[in-house]
Amino acid sequence: MSDPGSRIEDLVALMARLPGLGPRSARRAVLHLIRRRGTLMAPLAQALAEVAAHTRDCSICGNIAEADTCDLCRNPARATGEICVVEDVSDLWAMERGGAFRGRYHVLGGTLSALDAVGPDELGIPRLVARVADEGIREVIVALNATVEGQTTAHYIAEALAPTGVTVTGLAQGVPIGGELDYLDDGTIQAALRARRSLQG
C-alpha cells in the first residue's frame, strides 16, 4: 500500500498543472479540499468523474457535448441560417455570454500556425464547407482573434467558402466599450479609423 503522503503529493502535482495554479497555490487548494473532505472534496471528485465519463466533442460543431451532438446543434430555434466560426470552445462561451448571436457555431480547435505546423487539414475547415451546403447556411460569421494567425485563418476560410456562394463576414475591429483613445495601441486606432461609420442615421 502506498504512503498517503505520496497520494497527496500526486494530487498536488496534478492540481499544479491547472491554469492559474502553481505548486504553492495547488498545495493550498489541496489542503482546503482535505479539510472539507465530505462537503467539497467528495462531491467535486464525483462531478469530475461524471464530466470525464460523459463529455465529448459535438460531432457537428466541435463544442463540448454530453451526447453525440451539443444542445446548440439540437435546438431548432438555432437554425437561423447563420454559423459563427470560433477558434476554441472558450470563444464560443464568450459569444454565448454576450447573448447577441442566436445561430449555430463551428469550433475550429485552433488556427493556421507556421510555428506549430498547423495547416488547413488539421482544422475542421472541410467539415465547415460541408455544413454550409448541408444546413442551407446563408451567412458565415468568422469570429477569430485579431492576430496574424487568426486573420490568416479567417482569410483562408473565406477563400475555402467562396465556391459555395455563402456570405462570409468578420467581426469589426475598433474601440472597445469603455475604451479611451489615449490608451489604445496604434493598430487598433488604425483599424477603428478604417471601419468608421456615419453618425447621421
Nearest-CA neighbor of 140 among 129, 148, 151?
A: 129
Q: How far apart are CA 103 and CA 73, in angstroms?
A: 9
Interface residue with another protein, options 4, 5, 20, 99 (CB under 8 A): 20
Would you count residue 14 as binding another protein (CB under 8 A)? Answer: no
Would you count residue 182 as binding another protein (CB under 8 A)? Answer: no
Q: How far apart are CA 185 and CA 128, in angstroms?
A: 34
Would you count residue 119 as binding another protein (CB under 8 A)? Answer: yes
Chain centre to alpha carbon of residue 13: 27
Would you count residue 81 as binding another protein (CB under 8 A)? Answer: no
Would you count residue 3 as binding another protein (CB under 8 A)? Answer: no
Q: How far apart are CA 132 and CA 83, in angstroms?
A: 8
Would you count residue 8 as binding another protein (CB under 8 A)? Answer: no
CB of 154 to another protein, least distance (A): 9
| CA distances, 49 to each of 9, 52, 54 (Å) | 20, 5, 9
* Positions in the binding site for another protein (CB under 8 A): 19-20, 114-115, 117, 119, 146-148, 151-152, 155-156, 158-159, 173, 185-188, 190-191, 194
